[in-house]
Chain A
Amino acid sequence: MLSIFRMTKSFVGIMFFAIVLSHGVVSAQVEIEIIADVGAKIPITIPPFLGEGGQAKLISEIISSDLAKTGIFAIQSFDKSWSVSKLGDDEEYTNWASRAVQNLVVGNFVKLNDGRFQASFWLYDIPGQAMSVGYQIKDDPKQLRQMAHHFADLIYEKLTGDKGVFRTKIVYVVSKKDQSALVIADSDGHNPNEIFVSKEPILSPRWSPDGSKVAFVSFLKRKAAVYVTPVNYKKGRATGKPIVIGPFPGSNSAPAWSPDGQSLAIAISKDGKSDIFMISLRDQSRVQITNSRSINTEPNFSHDGKTLIFTSDRTGRPQVYQVPVKGGAEVRLTYTGRYNASPHFSPDDSFIALIHYDERKFNVGTQDMKSGVVQILTDGSRDQSPSIAPNGKVIVYASEANGRGILRFVAKNGRAKLRYVGPKGDDLREPSWGPFIKD
């Protein structure tokens, strides 16, 4: 495990982490680039956890990395000469206050006789002279990273008021020389695990709302077909084999889960047009939603389950439209730019993420549902497949570097950007962000 902190003194401060891990034959690299030119950050000091060497230190490193990556926190440097312990009296708070520390995390790590470990942390509000969160976990050593992410979630929620997404998973497609794989990884790119491998291309993986299934598209007898595979979300593993939905005559693709997880909206291309259908997973019955002599694809449900947004080229170019699930007028939503596609509703349905083309490059942006204001968040040339974190604060998308597909993360406010590069030679694509972990 290697951590590098580097601060430049330019107007735009860039913090750069490189986390390299070896995981059998699979290794991944996460680079974090945080643009810190706007807005105040929450300062926080996270000394190494008390306890035995490597693992205790790793916990504080993971928490620091999680919080730094959001672009909301400023991780304060720490003087090794400072003694760290659980705080009690006013004098100890005053002591930390004199070091200009505002938020302090004190942690403790112990190995138990039964093979498990016990870790605890306390978050202190130094100026307020109070402990704001305290938490203790006993778990298997394999769960060390998950546990550290859990602590980071609790700290994040306490200090920002929003739920953290550090324990969530992402699923994405890895394209190799002559095969494609569906991979589940932690949202920080660690623990990548192939859940499905095929000689045929794979695209459009989508988590079910409860995280128990992944829908995706592959090819069956040369036709695109929608599959659903059961998974264990916490473990990031497949628990069964993929089953094909339908297949209905024509090309079947672009699955989107209804918020209740009972139906999939999919696009079926046949006889020169592509329309969106609702497929009941109980009996595979289908209801047609769109009807026009054009391409209608990439459906996505609002989280209240009432409407669908989708991409249509009915005007000759792809734009985003909205239609009530129970039927009604199809209303155009995007007017800025000649090409808007891949729409995704934010968790509170207040904005959509999409890809936007301006005659030179494809970028990921957001459009506010009320004002219609479009904000472009990325600066690659071929950015695509945006997926929004369940707290609505970060968007993961597919991009490229040196001719290879990589995943990038961008904060919804545009203040933090991360790069996730897969093992050498792998082409990463089509990320989908999973739901919150249920405690």
Chain B
Amino acid sequence: MTMKFLLVAGLVAVLVGCSSKTKTNADIEQRDLFDQSNRRSFEQTAESIDGVVAPSEEELRAQQDELKREFEREEQRLLDERVKLDEQNAATQDEFQRQAEVKRVLSQNDSLLSQRSIFYDFDSSVIKVEFQPVIEAHGSFLKKHPTVRIRIEGNCDDRGSREYNLALGQSRAEQLKQAFVLLGARADQIDVASYGAERPLVFGIDDESRSKNRRSDLVYLD
């Protein structure tokens, strides 16, 4: 670009010089002066443009390409985000539906799932046959809803050693957990705890009260 400007300036100077042969020396000198100042002015112009570092066409094209790619990338990112949000939204909808379903099933009054206590004989953690249907209902429910979590709390009646009862309550809860796992529940869905004889359901020392206290409670966690 600089070279072009210098060539043009040179040509102009030669043509001007040829056409002024008839003029006086003073005129010529003046003209020369003029020409020189003119030339200088051209040169200066070329130099000043050079100082701004004007981009070449290649560079401009590269810049434009880069911008275009960047724009495309951004467009893709936004598109991805949109897809992701849509997916999330759908999942949230699913989750809402699932939770609603879990809530609905768990709140049904006369279902097997509405029975949340398993009762035992004195000093025993053996699951009695009569509770098998209830346990199967909870086990398959846990299997069907692997994100649902449950805590099994073992309890005992007031008779005997408190410490032994604490261990017995734990054993009751653990055996129930194993039964659920055998039915397809995941072990990490189930937490076990024992309160031994410390959290009676009913306060009473008659046989009926005691039979109500020898229990494992199933607590569904939010």
B15 to nearest A CB, angstroms?
Answer: 100
Contact assessment for B163 and A272 in the assembled complex, using a CB-CB cutoff below 8 Å:
no
Extra A-B contacts (7), CB below 8 Å, given A271-B174, A311-B164, A362-B160: A217-B166, A251-B170, A269-B171, A269-B194, A274-B171, A341-B163, A403-B203
Q: Any chain B CB within 8 A of the CB of A187?
A: no
| Interchain CA distance A222-B191 in the complex, whole Å | 10
Give the one of A201, A251, A342 with max B CB within 10 A: A251
Q: CB-CB contacts of B4-29 with A at 8 A, as 1s and 0s?
A: 00000000000000000000000000
Give the 5 A-B residue pairs with the shortest CB-CB distance, closest first.
A201-B198, A272-B174, A341-B161, A269-B170, A295-B167
Number of residues on chain A facing chain B (CB within 8 A): 38
Contact assessment for A224 and B162 in the assembled complex, using a CB-CB cutoff below 8 Å:
no
Chain A residues with Cβ below 8 Å from B162 are 203-204, 384-385, 429-430
Contact assessment for B171 and A272 in the assembled complex, using a CB-CB cutoff below 8 Å:
yes
Contact assessment for B175 and A298 in the assembled complex, using a CB-CB cutoff below 8 Å:
no
Q: CB-CB contacts of B104-141 with A at 8 A, as 1s and 0s?
A: 00000000000000000001000000000000000000
A393 to nearest B CB, angstroms?
Answer: 24
| Interchain CA distance A403-B205 in the complex, whole Å | 8
Q: Any chain B CB within 8 A of the CB of A196?
A: no
Q: Any chain B CB within 8 A of the CB of A223?
A: yes
Q: Any chain B CB within 8 A of the CB of A62?
A: no
Q: Name A residues whose Cβ lies closer than 8 Å to a Cβ of B.
A: 201, 203-204, 217, 219, 222-224, 250-251, 253-254, 267, 269, 271-274, 295, 297-298, 311, 313, 317-318, 339, 341-342, 355, 357, 362, 382, 384-385, 400, 403, 429-430
A399 to nearest B CB, angstroms?
Answer: 12
A205 to nearest B CB, angstroms?
Answer: 11
| Interchain CA distance A190-B54 in the complex, whole Å | 101
18 contacts between A and B (CB under 8 A): A222-B151, A251-B170, A251-B193, A269-B171, A272-B178, A274-B171, A297-B167, A298-B164, A311-B163, A313-B164, A313-B168, A318-B160, A318-B161, A341-B164, A355-B161, A362-B159, A384-B162, A403-B205
Q: CB-CB contacts of B157-200 with A at 8 A, as 1s and 0s?
A: 01111111011101100110010000000000000011110110
Q: A201-B198, A298-B161 are in contact. Are A274 and B123 (CB under 8 A)?
A: no
Q: A317-B123, A342-B163, A403-B205 are in contact. Are A274 and B199 (CB under 8 A)?
A: no
Contact assessment for B164 and A295 in the assembled complex, using a CB-CB cutoff below 8 Å:
yes
B185 to nearest A CB, angstroms?
Answer: 16
